[in-house]
Amino acid sequence: MTVTTTIDILFVCTGNTCRSPMAAGVMRSLVRNAGLEHAFEIDSAGTTVRVAGQPASLLAVEAAARRGHDIAGHRSRPLTADDLARATHPLAMAEAHLAAMRALAPSGLTGRSRMLTAQDIVDPYDGTAQDYQRALDLIEAGCLRLFGELRQAGSK
């Protein structure tokens, strides 16, 4: 994969404590395992962050760690228009996030945001460990597909 510019991926969910940090952790693992850390910037944010600086939920950290993704150092933060201007790939976890991203995006960039998967990834917050595993199943599949697309596009 030949990369001339940095690929900037931004994952967005509601509170930035479950789905988007797990997605960022999965994508970082994929990028690291491929030896492409230099070519990617990976971040996450939330559309409705109640308190910035919160760690990822314990069940999200545990679910991610069981699959080899480290998100223990994550701290939540709110989504900004600058995030959407910077990110080459702003990705929503659900349709509601996509709508919020498009409403916040600078003029001319509203169409850049898209869903990570073809369906909403249900928020596991306040759910069981199995809810986090189900969300992570969809996140991993979406990240694998995205990474494959980006690698294919970069080899052209």
Give the separation between CA 70 and CA 58, rounded to whole angstroms.
12
Residue 143: give its domain's CATH number: 3.40.50.2300
The identity of residue 84, as a single letter, is L
- Hey, which residues are catalytic here? 13, 19, 123
* 36 has a pLDDT exceeding 80: yes
Give residue 142's domain range. 7-149
Q: Domains in the chain: how many in total?
A: 1
Residue 123 vs residues 5, 10, 30, 69, 96: alpha-carbon distances, Å: 33, 18, 23, 19, 12
Give the separation between CA 18 and CA 125, rounded to whole angstroms.
7
Predicted confidence at residue 153, as pLDDT, reads 85
Helix or strand holding residue 8 (H, E): strand 7-13
Helix (H, G, I), strand (E, B) or coil at 137: helix
Mean pLDDT of 32-37: 96
* 1 has a pLDDT exceeding 60: no
Reported pTM: 0.96
117 within a domain of the structure (yes/no): yes
What end-to-end distance do the CA atoms of the chain give, in Å?
8
156 within a domain of the structure (yes/no): no
